[in-house]
Amino acid sequence: MDSTDIDFMRVALERAAAAQASGEVPVGAVLVREAAVIATGANCPISCNDPTAHAEIAALRAGGRALGSYRLTDTTLYVTLEPCLMCASAIVHARVRRLVFGAWDPRAGAAGSIVDVFALPQLNHRVDVFGGVLMEECASLLRQFFSERRGGGGGGSCHEG
């Protein structure tokens, strides 16, 4: 972990806070290439009525538009929570070079918690994965959200850019 990872994870935490302000589970993502932010995403499945509208997917979609390609080679994706199975698979298919995440997700994490998609030998792309960056800040945001909003829903707009 270096200061660049911390800086970009702080940007992801800002996107997570935006998701929380809209009544969404506070997860944020930032896609970076050559030390420049290409795209960001925040969880918005509730407000978008879209079960695939996770922060990672929003950032990957916006990144594809920004780069004019579905291949996001030479990029790093920063996300505040360990990706789920859907997001981990999308990260592999997008050819993201590196994944950096904050909090581990023991219930749905697919970077080692319940399964490690990134270690499957049959896949034709390898992602360099590093977890635990600003782990306590990321986990604290989630704990606070769930303790305050058990079972609640919210409104807002899709958060990608």
Catalytic residue among 14, 24, 34, 56: 56
pLDDT for the residue 146: 87
pTM, 2 dp: 0.91
Q: Is 34 a catalytic residue?
A: no
pLDDT for the residue 147: 84
Q: Which residue has the higher pLDDT, 89 or 150?
A: 89
pLDDT, tens digit (0-9, with 9 covering 90-100), for 50-108: 999 999 999 999 999 999 999 999 999 999 999 999 999 999 999 999 999 999 999 99
Cα gap 20→14, rounded to integer Å:
10
